[in-house]
Structure 1
């Protein structure tokens, strides 16, 4: 993981209890919230976030999945 990936992960960890901080994601990282959560989820599922314990990884995974589900358009 590079410093950008560490920053994404750190942001996700800090903001997960407060709704995710979607409003700040684009200005902070230059990507949409949907792409942000896809990248964080990928890092968590590929275990690139090895500094996190299992419980924290599971919580972050659930948070990302919930956010990604909320971005889906109703059919």
Structure 2
């Protein structure tokens, strides 16, 4: 993982308890929340986020899936 990926993961971990911080994602990373959660989910599922224990990995996976589902429902 590069520094950008580490920043994405750190942001997701910090903000998951507070609803995700979707409002700040574009200004922070230059990508939409949908792309952000897809990328974080990909990192978690491919086990690129090796510093996370199994419980944290599962919680982050569930958070990303819930966010992506909510975006689909609003379209």
TM interval, short-chain normalised: over 0.9
Alignment CA distance shift 1:17-1:74 (3 Å): closer
Listed as ranges, the gaps of 5+ residues in structure 2 are: none
2:74 aligned partner: 74
Using the alignment, how far apart are the partners of 1:13 and 1:28 within structure 2? 15
Backbone CA RMSD of aligned residues: 1.2
Using the alignment, how far apart are the partners of 1:35 and 1:74 within structure 2? 16
User: 1:74: Cα distance to partner?
Assistant: 6.1
Superposition misfits of 4+ residues, deviation over 2 angstroms: none
1:2 aligned partner: 2
Q: Which structure is higher in helix share?
A: 2
Listed as ranges, the gaps of 5+ residues in structure 1 are: none
Aligned residues: 75
